Amino acid sequence: MVRARFHAPDACTYMLMRIINYTNVCVAQCDYCAFYTLPGQEGGYVLSDAQVFAKIDELLELGGDLVGFNGGFNPALPLEYYCELFAAVRARYGDRLEFYALTIAEFMYLADHAKLDYLTTAKRFKDAGVRWITGGGSEILTEDFRRRHSKFKYTVKQYFEAQRALIEAGLRSTATMVVGFDETIEERIEHLERTRQFQDETGGLASFLCWTFKPYFTPLGSQLGGIEIGTGEYLRHLALSRIYLDNIPRIRTSVLTQNERALEGLLYGADDFDLPIEDEVTQKAGATINLQFDKVLTYAKSLGYTATYRSVAKDGAASRAGTQPA
């Protein structure tokens, strides 16, 4: 079994984290998104540093130590805005907190907007205290999918060029995937194959996280009749991903989109999961967040797994308790 090469059969890990959606202004216009507003539309916002810090402080008080930043392609925010924000976060929290600074899609937009190549932009972020930029914005990594649903995003070729530059600059990254749009099985396999080949070439992907498309309140969801794929199909795809991606040590199951039943993914090859306290992008599309974390962890135990907290932060919650960060 592939999972057993990397992890004890009855063990799993989890993180308590928060996605901070620093802006909802975006020009990408993906038809599977219920979150964005266009520039100038009513309801657009950009969080202040004080608002960002308040969200981080709340997470730390709950015992978490990982934040992910996710917003959009906001043409009013220059590269300097992000560098200053991330430098301020690193200066304020040091190694008590780790943060995933942006997704690759946002990173690509910022490099383009600043008229800089990907490697130079990655080094700018590294100088600002950034250590991670996640593989978010991948959805389904085929050119046909992107033409159908996110024509103002970047190509698959550009996506991997950007991720390669991040790794070359010394930043860490992850792989992601979203299933349950109108993608074919062949497109799912192409996504996994591209990810596997990239990992063979770089070895730079720390984990793979797959979640399901939430169709509610989205243009694409309306076209598809608001139908969401079932947990059974999601679990089968997790199992396929664990077998196919035998060069990525960590496969993560999505509590955010599957709630408590995501823990069944541990039986299908996953070994890790988030306990999120906020992700406005996914919540706007119909995701619900259960803050009864003990209930979720008890379910893991009922399935036969001992769940251990995993810190990404060097001096995070688990490290302070004597557990080494992953």
Q: What is the DSSP string of 7-71?
A: S-TTEEEEEEEEEE--B-B-S---TT-SS-B-TTSTT--B--HHHHHHHHHHHHHHT--EEEE--
> What local confidence, expressed as pLDDT, does residue 316 receive?
67
> What local confidence, expressed as pLDDT, does residue 317 receive?
61
Model pTM score: 0.94
Which of 300, 215, 227, 204 shows the shortest CA–CA distance to 261?
300
> What local confidence, expressed as pLDDT, does residue 318 receive?
56
Domain ranges, ordered by start, for the chain: 2-307
As a dihedral over the C-alpha atoms of residue 212, residue 216, residue 222, residue 223, rounded to 10 degrees, the angle is: 0
Any idea which architecture 2-307 has in CATH?
Alpha-Beta Barrel (3.20)
> What local confidence, expressed as pLDDT, does residue 120 receive?
98
Instruction: Check if the beta carbon of residue 11 is closer than 8 Å to that of residue 308.
Output: yes
Q: Which neighbouring-strand residues pair with 276?
A: 17
What is the chain's pLDDT, residue by residue, as a tens digit (326 residues)? 799 999 999 999 999 999 999 999 999 999 999 999 999 999 999 999 999 999 999 999 999 999 999 999 999 999 999 999 999 999 999 999 999 999 999 999 999 999 999 999 999 999 999 999 999 999 999 999 999 999 889 999 999 999 999 999 999 999 999 999 999 999 999 999 999 999 999 999 999 999 999 999 899 988 888 788 999 999 999 999 999 999 999 999 999 999 999 999 999 999 999 999 998 889 888 888 888 899 999 999 999 999 999 998 987 665 544 433 33
> What local confidence, expressed as pLDDT, does residue 291 receive?
86
Phi/psi for 265 (5° steps) reads -60, -20
Phi/psi for 276 (5° steps) reads -85, 145
Which of 75, 202, 72 shows the shortest CA–CA distance to 150?
72
> What local confidence, expressed as pLDDT, does residue 32 receive?
94
